[in-house]
């Protein structure tokens, strides 16, 4: 190894040792600085902790004092409240004692009064028993004296006296019952007129007397022949599709659609009227017209049902029920449109229910649904009231509404206020001037039937029909019919009219008894 290389190695060794020594001294110096800095931080942290502890002690003391003060105030309030409650309880207890004492005194007075009344009752019972014994004695003496003075056997005489007394008692009771009935009738009639007057004054629903038109007019005989087709094949197809009969009147050049089902009758009229406007009529076009008219008619029926239910504010009515209400648009009774009639009855029944503090919603439902059976009475047996009641019962109506519908023509005896209000509202709507009309034949037949019923009772000398059949006035023989029989006769005639005739509104029955005493001066 050469000398320069040795010197280089030695220099590197010396430099490395110096570097290590320098690094060691630097690290030692830094360690000493870190220890001093850590000691300073520890001192500072200890001072901060002592300061925070002092501050926390002060806060705890303040909170303790505040809590104690609050507790003392609350305790004072509770003690004061308890003292007030104790005073109130003492006052109530004193009042209860005074009330109990006064009730005991009242009970004692009532007991003494009851004892006095019981004593008087015992005295009266003794007097009544003495009077009964005297009555028996007098009756025995009376029969003995009558037996001595009369040749009639005792049993027959007793029966005669009993019959006379019974007749006198019946007359007294009849007059008494008549007075009570007249008084009740006057009061009931006055109250009923008041309720009806208030309901009618509040009833502001517009009404238009709609009359059904079942005729289709033709311009000429050629027009009719084109619509009816060769050998009436077109009209036969219309009759078969709609289930109706079409009758042509040569005098007026019009065709009348006839059938028991009012909806089918209206459908037949619509199809026939649309066919009369068709230029090239054939069997295919008739099928097309029939489907279109059927769809439009069913849509209109549901629309009418929804409208009347919405008008009376009845939101929860089933769709089948609303369809039946819409179908009443084509049903008439004594020329009165039943769709508008049931809406009118619903309003009137609801108004009268409001006047009597009854559920208004039930009154409207019963009035609206009372004649719903007329929309289906052509296809089911039975009266429309029973049919309608069964129909709405299956669709979830209330029992009281079902009873009102079933009883509004006395198919079932009405037993609720709602049933009688439905009957009254139905009569008001039917008796309104212009609501119903009759033909000349039916009017003449009604007059004849009323006169026949009135003249069919014994003792009747004449029968007069007044006020266009609204009143039947019967003249009876005063020697054969007394006052009691006259009153019963009016009821019998009215009952027979109800049983045998079908009529709208009310018929008044008046029995007139006249006695004439005639004597000649000679």
* pLDDT value at 368 more than 90: yes
pLDDT of residue 326: 93
Q: What are phi and psi of 509, to 5 degrees?
A: -110, 120
Ordered by start, the domain boundaries in the chain are 154-197, 215-431, 440-514
Q: What mean pLDDT value characterizes the chain?
A: 84
**Contact indicator for 437, 334 with CB cutoff of 8 Å:** yes
Nearest to 258 by CA among 269, 274, 249: 269
Considering the entire predicted model, what is its pTM?
0.55
Strands (E), 7-103: none
In the chain, % of residues over pLDDT 90:
27
Nearest to 185 by CA among 487, 439, 501: 487
Q: Which CATH code of 1.10.260, 1.10.10, 1.10.3470, 1.10.3210 fits the domain covering 215-431?
A: 1.10.3210
Residue 95 pLDDT class (50, 70, 90 cuts): confident
pLDDT tens profile 188-241: 767 777 777 777 777 766 665 566 667 888 888 888 888 888 888 998 999 999
Domain 440-514 has CATH 3.30.300.20: yes
pLDDT of residue 366: 94
Q: How far apart are CA 191 and CA 185, in angstroms?
A: 10
pLDDT of residue 192: 76
Comparing 23 with 462, which gets the higher pLDDT?
Answer: 462
**Contact indicator for 307, 323 with CB cutoff of 8 Å:** no
Give the mean pLDDT of 164-184.
Answer: 79
pLDDT tens profile 266-283: 999 999 999 988 888 888
Token pair in block for residue 269: 């009229």
Question: Whose structure tokens read 């004849």?
Answer: 448
Comparing 22 with 232, which gets the higher pLDDT?
Answer: 232
Give the mean pLDDT of 377-391.
Answer: 87
């Amino acid at each position: 190894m050469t000398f320069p290389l040795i010197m280089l190695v030695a220099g590197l060794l010396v430099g490395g040792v110096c570097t290590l020594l320098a690094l060691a001294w630097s690290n030692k110096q830094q360690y000493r600085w870190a220890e001093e800095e850590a000691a300073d931080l520890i001192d500072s942290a200890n001072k901060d902790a002592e300061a925070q502890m002092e501050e926390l002690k002060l806060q705890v003391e303040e909170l303790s004092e505040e809590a104690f003060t609050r507790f003392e105030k609350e305790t004072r309030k509770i003690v004061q409240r308890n003292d007030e409650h104790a005073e109130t309880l003492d006052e109530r207890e004193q009042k209860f004692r005074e009330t109990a004492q006064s009730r005991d005194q009242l009970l004692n007075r009532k007991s003494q009064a009851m004892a006095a009344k019981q004593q008087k009752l015992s005295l009266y019972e003794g007097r009544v028993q003495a009077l009964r014994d005297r009555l028996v004695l007098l009756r025995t003496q009376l029969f003995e004296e009558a037996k001595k003075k009369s040749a009639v056997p005792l049993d027959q005489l007793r029966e005669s006296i009993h019959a006379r007394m019974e007749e006198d008692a019946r007359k007294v009771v009849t007059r008494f019952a008549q007075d009570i009935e007249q008084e009740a009738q006057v009061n009931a009639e006055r109250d009923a007129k008041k309720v009806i007057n208030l309901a009618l004054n509040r009833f502001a629903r517009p009404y238009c007397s709609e009359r059904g038109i079942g005729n289709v007019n033709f311009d000429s005989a050629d027009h009719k022949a084109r619509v009816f087709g060769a050998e009436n094949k077109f009209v036969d197809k219309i009759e078969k599709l709609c289930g109706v009969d079409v009758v042509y009147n040569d005098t007026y050049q019009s065709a009348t659609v006839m059938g028991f089902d009012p909806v089918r009758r209206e459908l037949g009229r619509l199809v026939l009227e649309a066919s009369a406007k068709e230029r090239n009529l054939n069997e295919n076009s008739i099928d097309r017209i029939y489907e279109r008219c059927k769809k439009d008619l069913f849509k209109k029926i549901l629309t009418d049902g929804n409208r009347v239910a919405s008008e009376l504010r009845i939101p929860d009515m089933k769709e089948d029920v609303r369809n039946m209400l819409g179908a009443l648009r084509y049903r008439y009774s004594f020329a009165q449109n039943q769709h508008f009639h049931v809406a009118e009855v619903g309003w009137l029944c609801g108004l009268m229910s409001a006047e009597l503090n009854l559920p208004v919603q039930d009154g409207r439902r019963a009035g609206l649904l009372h004649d719903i059976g007329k929309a289906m009475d052509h296809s089911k047996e039975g009266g429309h009231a029973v049919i309608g009641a069964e129909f709405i019962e299956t669709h979830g109506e209330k029992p009281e509404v079902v009873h009102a519908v079933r009883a509004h023509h006395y198919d079932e005896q009405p037993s609720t206020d709602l049933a009688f209000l439905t009957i009254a509202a139905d009569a008001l709507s039917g008796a309104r001037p212009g609501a119903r009309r009759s033909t000349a034949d039916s009017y003449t037949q009604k007059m004849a039937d009323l006169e026949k019923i009135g003249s069919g009772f014994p003792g009747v000398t004449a029968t007069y029909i007044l006020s266009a059949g609204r009143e039947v006035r019967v003249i009876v023989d005063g020697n054969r019919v007394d006052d009691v029989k006259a009153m019963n006769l009016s009821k019998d005639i009215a009952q027979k009219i109800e049983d045998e005739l079908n009529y709208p509104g009310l018929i008044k029955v008046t029995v007139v008894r006249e006695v004439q005493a005639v004597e000649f001066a000679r």
